[in-house]
Structures are given as structure tokens and as C-alpha cells.
Amino acid sequence: MRVLHLNTHASGGSYEYAALLCAALAEQGIESRILSKNSQPPAARRPVFDRVIRRSYVSLSTEPWHGTRRLLSQPAPEQPDQIDVVHLHTVADWFDVPDWLETLPRGMGVVISIHDMWHITGGCFLYRGCDRYTSENDPCGSCPILRWPAKRLLARAAYSRKLRAYRNSGARMVANSHWLAGLAGRSAIAKACGGVLVIPPGIDTRVFKPHDKELCRKQLGLPADAFVIATGGASLKDTNKNLPWLLKQLSLLPELGKVIVLAFGEGAVPVPNCLNVRFAGSIPDRCDLARLLAAADVFVTASLMETYGLTLVEAMACGIPVVAFRVGGIPEAAPDGQGAILCGPQDGAALLEAITNLRESPRLR
């Protein structure tokens, strides 16, 4: 069997999941490879029409939204040759998915792993309490993210195109958490795929495992007696990761002189003057990330929404506790009291209390 995995970017949680799955299939003797937008020619990149839509009609710039239509560019990737199964991961902001699915040879297997809401809505990624995608009469109509006149038509049209193409392709849908599956199961798109199967993503425990903390700190130039807080993700500027808010809260910790925040991911954000933050940049090598996590005393995230939380699992596998909000699929990835302390969303007092308790009680970590 030959499997082709598609993911827009060659980084981030969905790509990491696809890469790990690809390697696992290869170990079983199954031919498997990954294709991303970065490996495609420029003409096959993001549809021009989608760029124009976002500049003209997306009213909430902090809310990610992507349609499905293309204008000048051709659908990408090119028709898969000698492939038995196509596995779609996070493929928004790349090509016209419904149009491309309609061109696949009859009988080709199609699996869709949903890591966000895009596959089962008219274009949005994050669940913010909007249930328009569940409407039987006007799914994704009057989208609150879009301006008029796009507000009335674009999201609904994208939803309808996905529904038709996904149904015709015979696709099967997989969610990374029961929480996400519960939301997806209310969409006619998921119902057209025969429902949603839940398969939580795994990690490579040959990489993410306890390391010698003292050695890891020496390699990273971190003081042995510092209290190190790790945080991060694919992009530090991602508003959903809520990093500016987190840094502001961490600046309120006592004895800041011995606190170091180690932030990994693309970009940087403003830092309170009193807080020692070291930006490690993007870390594509998983072994390097494992050593960074193992060097920390705790991993903290203030993400406003996660469908699962793979980095939390990786941190716990490296032997450090995690502190996070009780949102989305996080309680499934990091159950409260089982290596994790979960707080209410934006509850700064509870978050600081959890970190302080871990700092003052080494036995808890």
C-alpha cells in the first residue's frame, strides 16, 4: 500500500503528527511520504482568490479563516501517481480541496484527520462558540468573521462545496480528541463521511523521555539553580497561544531574579522589563526540543483553545509537569492531577498559584 500525507506547512503539531505516522507506516513496510506547500512550485501555492477574500472581507483579523476557491493558481498538489490512500491533515491555505478531491481516481482511499474546525465548517479554524456550521437550512450562513456582502454567501458556499466533495470522495474522518469529535459530529460534512473516529496522536517515546536535567542545562547555557519555565509552539505570535498575556502573568511571580522563561517557536513578542525571557527560535529537530523540555522545571501554556495539545504530552514524557487552561481537548491530553495542573481560562491567579506550588515543592515535579 502507498500512502500520501498532505499538510500545508512542514512544521507545527499537525505536521509532526503526520511525520510520526509516516515513519510508523514505513516501519511496517508501507510506502508513505509527506507533501507540503513548501515543496510545491509557486503557481500551486495559496489561491489568489483566497488572498483577495481575506484582504477584502475578513473583518476579524485575529480569527483565521480560509475559503476553498482559487482564481489564478492551479489546484495543488498535482494528481497523485500510483497512490492508494491520500491522507489530508491541515491543508487550508494551500489548494482548492473540494475541487482537487473531485479529480481523484475512483476507488482511491481518502482519510481526513481534523486538527481544527476547517474541514467541517465554511472556513474557520477555531471553535469560539459559533454553531452556525450545524444548521440544516443555512450552514455557516451570516458568518460573523466575514464582512458584508461576503458575510452571507462565501462561508456557506465553501461549506456546500466541501459537503459535496467529501461525500463523493468516500472520505473517512478522524479527530484527535473526543472533544473535537463531538463538535465535528454535528456537522453534515462529518455525517457525510460516516461520522468521526477518534484516534489521539501519539509521540515518539524514544525521543521524548526523561533526560539528565543538569546536562541539558549545561548544553543550553542555563544556570543549575534557576527555575526554568518552558513555553512555546509553532509561532509565538499566534494570538491563540496568548503569549503576551502569559508573560505579563509570569512577571508577577516572586523572586523573578531566579526565573527564566524559555520560549520556543517562530517570532517574538514584547517582554515585561522585569522578566528574563530567552527566545529559542523554531526547533524543527525533535531531539533538540526534547532536551529543551527536559531542561525546564515546568511547561506552561496559556492557549485559549487546543483540540488536543501534543506539546503537553511531549513535556510530560520528558518528565516535567505542565500547567494549562482547561479548554478544548487539553483535559484529554493532560488530565488534571496526572502530571498536569489545569486552570480556568484566563485565570491568572490560579495559574500563578499552580506554578508557585510546583516551584516551592520539588517533589511535585
Half-sphere exposure of 189 (CA within 13 A, CB side): 29
Q: Decide: 2 and 109 in contact? Cβ < 8 Å.
A: no
pLDDT of residue 29: 95
Q: If 0-12 CB within 10 Å is exposed, 13-18 middle and 19+ buried, where does residue 245 land? A: middle
Q: What's the confidence (pLDDT) of residue 46?
A: 41
Following CA atoms 151, 51, 36, 43 in sequence, which dihedral angle do they give, to the nearest 10 degrees?
140
Q: Which residue has the cell 526554568?
A: 228
Same fold, 2-198 and 213-364: yes
- The sign one gets for the Cα dihedral 246, 252, 256, 259 is negative
In the chain, domain spans: 2-198, 213-364
Q: Single out the residue of 304, 349, 306 nearest to residue 331, CA to CA.
A: 306
Q: How far apart are CA 140 and CA 131, in angstroms?
A: 8
Please say whether the dihedral angle defined by the alpha carbons of residues 160, 161, 166 and 169, taken in this order, is positive or negative. positive
Asked whether 12 and 264 are in contact (CB, 8 A), the reply is no
Angle between helices 286-295 and 213-220 (to 10 degrees): 110
> Residues 68, 97: contact at Cβ < 8 Å?
yes
Q: Which CATH class is domain 213-364?
A: alpha beta
State the Cα–Cα distance between residues 278 and 262, nearest whole angstrom: 5
Confidence at residue 227, expressed as pLDDT on a 0 to 100 scale:
97
Q: How far apart are CA 114 and CA 96, in angstroms?
A: 17
> What class does CATH assign to 2-198?
alpha beta
pLDDT at 77: 66
- How high is the pLDDT of residue 142? 86
The pLDDT of residue 364 is 72
Question: What integer pLDDT is reported at residue 80 of this predicted model?
Answer: 66
Mean pLDDT in consecutive groups of 10 residues from the start of the chain, 365 residues: 93 90 94 83 41 41 50 51 91 88 91 97 93 95 79 85 96 98 98 97 96 97 97 95 98 96 96 97 95 98 97 98 98 98 98 97 76
pLDDT at 66: 55
